[in-house]
Amino acid sequence: MAYLRLKKQADFQKLFQKGKRVYTPSFTLLYKPSKQTTFGISLGKKHGKSVVRNRVKRLLREAFRAALPNMQGTYSLV
């Protein structure tokens, strides 16, 4: 199963406004049921310089890609 990446600001805003949130000490996950599985990452500057933030994003994308076959249903995730 493949997924699409969220890239547009409008797509992120829809999730921030209408999505449900799950909190952990490390990060917050926003999700909303959708027709197609989509995934985006929003990371603030408080998490380090750009090199660190880009590494975190790469690791999160890979973790999501590995977990995708076990995921049931289709969601939009940030």
What distance in Å separates the CA atoms of residue 45 and residue 34, rounded to the nearest whole number? 29
Q: Which residues pair with 4 in a beta bridge?
A: 38
pLDDT tens per residue across span 13-71? 988 899 899 999 888 889 899 888 888 888 888 888 999 999 999 998 999 889 888 88
Give residue 75's pLDDT band: very low, low, confident or very high (50, 70, 90): confident
Q: Model pTM?
A: 0.80
pLDDT level of residue 1 (50, 70, 90 thresholds) = low
